[in-house]
Amino acid sequence: MPSVGEPLIKLANVTKVFYTDEVETHALSGIHLDIKKGEYVSIAGPSGCGKSTLLSIVGLLDSPTDGTYILNSKAVQGLDFSERARIRNQEIGFIFQSFNLIGDLNVYENVELPLTYRSMSSPERKKRVQEALEKVGMAHRMRHYPSQLSGGQQQRVAVARALAGSPSILLADEPTGNLDSRNGEAVMDLLQQLHREGATICMVTHDPRFAKHADRQIHLFDGKVVEEIEGARQTAEMV
């Protein structure tokens, strides 16, 4: 774990360039970002500004072209595939816009699946799955399949799957994007409750109503951080 005063996540001068047909696309340019343990950060900006690319790098689904990424006091930008996969499984919980539940598995099995890749006993897995489902109010649906659930219920199961591994940080990529306003509000209320209980959350959202739920709002434009807002108070001016 990071020492006192040290951020859980630290990105320093992170750049991401995509090369296709001799064309360079600079998705991220010189990103500096610290996220403290227990903080709730939202990342917002127009389509194509680099939000999802940034979240993919934080989640070790992609690597920066240049720059430094420190997670839990360890440099992770140059790790090999297997080590990155191990850290993702143990340190990071993902909540996706499209839920990413497996249709052939019931709710219990969907939440348990990531835990099966750890050296964890069956009783411990069962305990974690039940606790996570109870936390999101879906324990009574554990034998149902995704097709038998509403969109809001599926997203709650996805949150439980992310929580079951006790990750250092929850990464939410447009978690309300496929939900109606009522279910979207319910999922945001759930994330707020998890944050109050100590969860560290980094969320990408296009909805300014939901971005305001965070302790700190990061605004991207053309792959750069152009504005930072803490609560309702602006702390950095447009650059």
pLDDT tens figures, 45-82: 888 899 999 999 999 999 999 999 999 999 998 899 99
Domain-located, residue 72: no
pLDDT tens figures, 11-29: 999 999 998 888 999 999 9
Domain-located, residue 70: no
Q: Report the domain count for the chain.
A: 1
- Predicted pLDDT of residue 230: 84
Domain-located, residue 10: no
Asked if pLDDT for residue 185 goes beyond 60, the answer is yes
Q: Which of 66, 94, 40 is nearest to 210 (CA)?
A: 40
Handedness of CA 69, 204, 197, 149 (dihedral sign): negative
For the whole model, what pTM was predicted? 0.88
Domain-located, residue 1: no
- Predicted pLDDT of residue 83: 93
- Predicted pLDDT of residue 206: 84
CB count within 10 Å of CB 238 equals 8
- The boundaries of the domain holding residue 90 are 37-64+80-236
- Predicted pLDDT of residue 218: 94
